[in-house]
Chain A
């Protein structure tokens, strides 16, 4: 069974630029999550989708971050414009349904200069 796929694996941008990350969850998983993991901290949930609807985006900085999950499969997370403090690893996870085990992708390491 293929795992959660993410791309790119690494990205370096200047502050005020925009960037997008892509996630392909495990086939059949209805729930998709985006986490932000700052160096030295545990992952923090940014947004959770159930199929193509948003369940929780309470910790998403909506003035600069946006996410979508068209057709309830792949998802993209965008940052525009980026700030220095957005430097982090962005992890995507998926689960069969809410309350099920979450499977994590390898993450995208973002460096904002």
Chain B
């Protein structure tokens, strides 16, 4: 089945440290991939998206993600985390259709 997997349920990092959140996908064709962030009581906000082209994608709030076909991964990175980045992060994908499938999410905690 076509899907995305986020292997880490919780991640804790210190403020100022670098961050990498993992996402693996399972699609036959080149997928459309997304990262969303959800703060408590809020809807989902799109951080970045990959459709095709350059495999390193820049997003908002200083986030970036790299599409690696050989590893079926689309990991989210940030060089220096801020306390306000604490939230839940969702990887999502679609295999060329429009039906978006979400991962189970990674809860990020930032230690001051």
- A-side residues, CB < 8 A to B, are 4, 31, 33, 40-45, 48, 55-56, 91, 93, 98-99, 101-107
Contacts and interface: CB of A to CB of B under 8 A. Distances in A.
Contacts of A55: 98
Contacts of B103: 42
Contacts of A48: 98-99
A105 B98 CA distance: 18
A101 B43 contact: no
B30 interface: no
Given A103-B46, A104-B45, 12 more contacts: A41-B105, A42-B102, A42-B105, A43-B44, A43-B90, A48-B98, A91-B44, A99-B32, A99-B98, A106-B41, A106-B43, A107-B43
Interface of B: 32, 36, 41-46, 49, 90, 92, 98-100, 102-105
Contacts of B90: 42-43
A80 to B, nearest CB: 25
